A and B are shown apart, each in its own frame.
Chain A
Amino acid sequence: MVSPELLAACRRGDRRAFEELVRLSHRRVYSLAYRLVGDRSDAGDVAQEAYLRMYRGLAGFREEARFETWMYRIVMNCAMTVLKKRGRFGLLVSDQELDVPVPDRAAERAVDRDELERALALLPEGQRVAVLLKDVYGLSVREISEELGIEEGAVKVRLHRARKRLAESLSTGDDRAGEL
Chain B
Amino acid sequence: MPVSSEHVSDLLPEYAESGLRPAGEVEEHLASCAACTAELGTYRSLLSSLVALRAVEVEPPAGYLDRTLRTARLASITSRIPSLAYLRRVSTRGTRILAQTPRAGYALASLGGAAVGATAIALVWWRIARRDAVATAVNS
Residues of A at under 8 Å CB distance from B? 13, 15, 18-19, 22-23, 26-28, 30-31, 34-35, 40, 43-44, 47-48, 51-52, 55-56, 108, 110-111, 113, 116-117, 131, 135-138, 156, 159-160, 163-164, 166-167, 170-171
Cross-interface CB contact of A163 among B46, B53, B76, cutoff 8 Å: B46
Sampled A-B contacts (28; CB under 8 Å): A13-B76, A15-B72, A15-B73, A15-B76, A18-B72, A22-B72, A23-B69, A27-B57, A27-B60, A31-B57, A40-B61, A44-B60, A48-B67, A48-B68, A48-B71, A116-B49, A131-B50, A135-B51, A136-B50, A136-B54, A137-B54, A159-B14, A163-B13, A163-B43, A167-B13, A167-B39, A167-B46, A171-B42
Q: How far is the CA of A27 from the CA of B68 in the complex (A)?
A: 11
Asked if B38 is at the interface of the complex by the 8 Å CB criterion, the answer is yes
CB distance from B51 to the nearest CB of A (A): 7
Interface of A, helix, strand, loop or mixed by DSSP:
helix
The answer to whether A44 and B61 touch across the interface, beta carbons within 8 angstroms, is: yes
Q: How far is the CA of A135 from the CA of B47 in the complex (A)?
A: 7
Q: How far is the CA of A113 from the CA of B54 in the complex (A)?
A: 11
Q: How far is the CA of A97 from the CA of B5 in the complex (A)?
A: 31
CB distance from A111 to the nearest CB of B (A): 4
Q: How far is the CA of A28 from the CA of B23 in the complex (A)?
A: 37
Asked if B122 is at the interface of the complex by the 8 Å CB criterion, the answer is no
Asked if B84 is at the interface of the complex by the 8 Å CB criterion, the answer is no
Asked if B30 is at the interface of the complex by the 8 Å CB criterion, the answer is no
Asked if B58 is at the interface of the complex by the 8 Å CB criterion, the answer is yes
Asked if B64 is at the interface of the complex by the 8 Å CB criterion, the answer is yes
Asked if B45 is at the interface of the complex by the 8 Å CB criterion, the answer is yes
Q: Which of A15, A117, A138, A159 has the most CB of B within 10 A?
A: A15
